Chain A
Amino acid sequence: MGYRIGIDVGGTFTDFVAVNTDQQMYSGKTPTIAADEAASVFGGLEQIAAHFGVSLQTLLAETDPIVLGTTVVTNTMLEFAGANIGLITTKGFRDVIELRRGYKESLFDIRLPPPHPIVERGKRLGVTERIDASGRIVTPLDEAEVYAALEHLRGVGVEAVAVCLLFSFVNPVHERRVRDIIHEVDPDLFVSLSSDVLPQVREFERVSTTVVNAYTSPKLRAYLEQLSARLEAQGFRGGLFLMQSNGGMMDIGFAREHGVDAVLSGPSGGVVAATFLGEQSGYKNIITADMGGTSYDVCLIKDSAPEVGVDNWISRYRVAVPLIDIHTIGAGGGSIAWLDDAGALRVGPRSAGAQPGPACYDRGGTEPTVTDADLVLGYLDAGSFLDGHMALDRHAAHRAIRQHIAEPMNISVEEAASGIFDIANNSMINAIRYVSVARGRDPRDFALLAFGGAGPVHAGTQVRDLGIRTILVPKNASVLSALGNLIANFKVSKVQSFIAKSDRVDLEELNGVLARLHQEAEVLLGDRSRIREVLVRRFLDIRYEGQVQEVIVPIQARTRRLSEVSLAQTLEEFHELHEQIYKFQRPEQSVEIVSVRLDMIGVRAPLHFESHPFEDEDAGHARKGRRPVYFEPHGFVDTDIYDGERVRPGNLITGPAIIEEANTSVVLYPNQEAMLDQFLTYVIQVAK
């Protein structure tokens, strides 16, 4: 017997999914043990072993691989608990990390403190050297200064050194020499070179990304090494992999040196699984919406490929490596509703989180939240929340909304709850518009895949505003990130600055860069034993001459080398994409290539999920009762409640209705109907 296991250690719960060679799947959750991710992983493994009736040692001996999602990097950045690091940079430029892009998040907030310095100025040291924009060495590296800088940094106990020199993306020779010197002086010091992490123009983006890598990697490395030792001690001989923010997985040898590539490890797993499940049910264009207690994450998937972004910030630091483009807003079930000083109803950004939580949790929270509104409106059932493991206090929810909102506004509690619900939805709808409309995509061409505890509660009304016609709710939505880990392929993302005017591209040189990136990616991909097929996707970052924002354009070539024709086709595609995103194109204007990108994907043996035969359409057997539920504009409507456990593939449920699943409620509006498909995903059709 053999097992494949995906585990996602989240902030509150650790989710896991295991599949054995008979394609039997088992998934579940266990509470995360604070500050000990390894223990949380073992908590999941023990439950898996118990389910399959084997010992932990037997399970581990027969498991290959384990793929992890982690919050180590995210938490390190949120808590500023990273390594003691130093920065070596070109003399005269140590303040680039402080000067940033020159931006302050809020013009009028005079009490907003500046960002926390993760590498203090005293540990940012300049060395004499200079390479110019063409890659020519203008001033040779002063090695004596490098040795002196190191002596100082070691004297103050740094554990890691980031190295970022100007124009190292054109010519990395000085950065590499600095690395060699560091290794010579202290082989144990962790070194992160900007020319490795992000060989691209823009010194702030590069230094910030490199510093985040140096700051987070030692912690990630310690965790992975400790976990891997503990797994091996228990007999594990398989491969251990980490989910990366680009939506692929990598072995821990790579991952432990690249903390910056794991900032969105967990959420990326969710998007990968959503992509897979959507495609399985016949939908290649999807917007995912993950609504949890404190945040709402959305991501757009086009043609079964999640959009990748390079514009991300984490804890006010720029992380410019390609990440699955997950747009997050601070709106969730815990978002607090309040009245401002002019008496207007507001929701968030303050959140009651899990502690004290919404008023209805009865854990000391007294302020009304979105979850309290959901309860008052009948979308949630006080008795069957979290599969009945947690009773909700309907009176507490009522009281909180009455005291804080309804009475001061002189409206009914139900009206107040409906207002909270609408305002929260509006913020979330704007988040969906942000990833679609604002980037030239029409949301009506997409299905909305809703997950997270509250996602399917709110999806039904969000789609009406956006004109979306299909909602997908996978039954195993609550372990989506772990499932994504199980499914994900290997993925290496490489980028290299390459600046050329489109009418004078040296094809030899361009093909040389592509070949080199290809070769480097192959090395990083490493062991091929788990890889069935290698896919390569190549892109050029292109802009109109003089513009600063680039469009990432897929290279239109099947051959390894680009030809005059395939280059011309790629450039033509640029104008089309530009028009799509920015509403105009200028085919007569010359364009320039800025960077070359290459994604190498190692496709793993696919998982086959069981396909269940359709049963009768009638879902009467799953109906478990009726209760009044609020539906705009009708008010409270006596509504059928279905037990998700008893709904069978092929069953059809017509709204208004609610399907209560173990970890969520699916709210069906009038003019919506849900059918559970053969892969256990609810496909909800929406009529206007």
Chain B
Amino acid sequence: MKTVDDLERIRKQAKAMTRLRESAETTKIVVAMGTCGIAAGARETLSAIMDELARRNLQDVIVTQTGCIGLCEQEPIIAVMIPGREKVSYGRVSPEKARQIVASHVVNGQVVGEWVIPTG
């Protein structure tokens, strides 16, 4: 490291590594990982989401899991929560669908209507 700019560059890179431990308001993807979800392939869905986020360098997005929400026939289920907007749940999310949801909903803010689980 030779200059202050080098330090700043390393700081920004390293910051992305520890962002997870801060409580800032940020986009969250919740994957249902109950036994039913796992049986329906939620592990693969989760891996696909992680991979897609890494590929797109989306460091601000938090991925967490939840248990069975009682819609076992819709598994794997994922929910996308963007601050200030309503939570959207998707059903029967294959790894391929998950990648598209990341691209369309998380990146561009376009809800993928046809896969949404209708609520209410």
User: Do the two shown chains form a genuine complex with each other?
Assistant: no
Residues of B in contact with A (beta carbons under 8 Å apart): none
